[in-house]
Structure 1
Amino acid sequence: MEILVCLKQVPDDSVELHLKPGTQEVNLEGVTPVVNAFDTYALEMATRLKEAVGGSITAITIGPEGAKDAVKTCLAVGANQGCLITDPSFEGADTLGKSKILAAAIRKLEADAGKPFDLIFCGREATDKATGQVGPQLAEALGVGVVTDLVDIQQTDAGVQAKQETEEGYRLVDAPLPCVVTVNKPPYDPRYPTIKSKLAARKMPIPTLDAAALGGVAPGAAGSHVVKVYEPAKRQAGVKLKEETCEETVAKAIAMMADAKVL
């Protein structure tokens, strides 16, 4: 099975981020970029599928030259080859524009290899903007089906069977190939690279594709516009009560809420 995994570099979400004073721009100075968490789930699911049925995984990302580090991270934990899509004209593209660029890159890779991708994995959403739009928009650009919010997947005679998480629970969805899938948090964690796999990944070449290589593709007009970026207001710390007994604690809480006129 020929598998492709789309990934994105995002700011480390373990770091508290703030806006630059007087602007609507996030201050990323000193913040290390990492592979989007949902994309690591997608890669792990893709790797498990490859181990079960055989095949190859290609990892791709859109970004600056430094985004090659994200591709190398994927090469160390399951991907067989990777590609960086980079061009000054791609900077600032919204999800619709990025989906068009990804679709053009996928068609280019398929043409060069002489065979199509059977399955394209995306993370459910990126942790920096959390739109969840790229997977469905990419499927539309490629003219294939999409199944979202996967937590498991298996190959079948007719294609794949995906376990999809819904608001009510889970359901099984059968889909023909090729198709795009987006991955939620599965019941297992992504694997860690070994020292040997890290060293091997560092030596692997990462080819790049620019706008010219993709036939002059351009993001086009944005399909969405950011109206405002702001930091959420800080919430006042709550009051902790600890009386001698539970009854006294409850009575004290009721009295305080009555004084504050919230009861």
Structure 2
Amino acid sequence: MSGADAAASFDPLRPRLARIAYRMLGSVADAEDVVQDAFLRWLATDRDEIREPEAFLRRVVTRLCLDQLKSARARRETYVGPWLPEPVVEAEEEVEDVTLPLLMALERLSPLERAAFLLHDVFGVNFDEVGETIGRDPAAARQLASRARTHVRAARPRYDLPKEKGLEIAAAFFAASRSGDMGALRGLLAADVSLWSDGGGKVPAGLKPIHGIEDMIKLHSSLARFFAKEMSRVVRYGRINGLPGFVTIEPGGVLQTTALAIEDGRITGIYVMRNPDKLGHLGAVH
């Protein structure tokens, strides 16, 4: 088989392989690198001997991700401020199966727990294949997935929020937070709301998460003074990693994404990405 034949059999699988890699790594760029590495290995493989290309490539991608996670954990120990996954702004027709809070919960799992959970619970892979992929027997793979499920249960959404309602709340949050209307903002927030802001040490951002409605109101009261001088500009509203939110150009020309976790009509989590290294793939949204 030629290189063209290899590409022809690989390219239809590329989006699904990229989804696996991104959910394993939380990085669009790293996921793209892993998928490209998998393609190079596919080129070098005797493809006539492969009965199930998708299963074979799924194993290759997962194993490459497990190798990457070892070094990624060391880098995150020295990361400046809260670490958030790179945001993915979904196209209109896309439905995200792994939301941002769940991606953050996956960070607390061991690499093998993460792989077992994602392959089985998200991508529907049977435990025989999961075990073969991660080098464990099926019973051990089942136990890893079960343990992961217990750890991430609280991060999984309790019910589906209609897309239109979520974007309506996102627009109301943007208007209240930028105009300085703290009364309207208070009405949108849950009492135990939390905020994570990832600047990676490259742009100004909170070095620690903020928890509780009163501290959130204080923060936005301070920020309102800056917005009075230079207002944010909304590039677009949409779903970001499964959550309603928006992409903005902030004072100083900083590109930013804001994703909102919402329960019972109130905002419980605010996830702000400001690190330019994690927003390069959104360059076209300007």
TM-score range, shorter chain: under 0.3
Task: Give the structure with the larger strand fraction.
Answer: 1
State the TM-score, normalized to the length of structure 1: 0.26
TM-score where L is the length of structure 2: 0.24
Which structure has the greater CA radius of gyration?
1
- Ranked by relative contact order (alpha carbons within 8 Å, sequence separation 6 or more), the top structure is 1
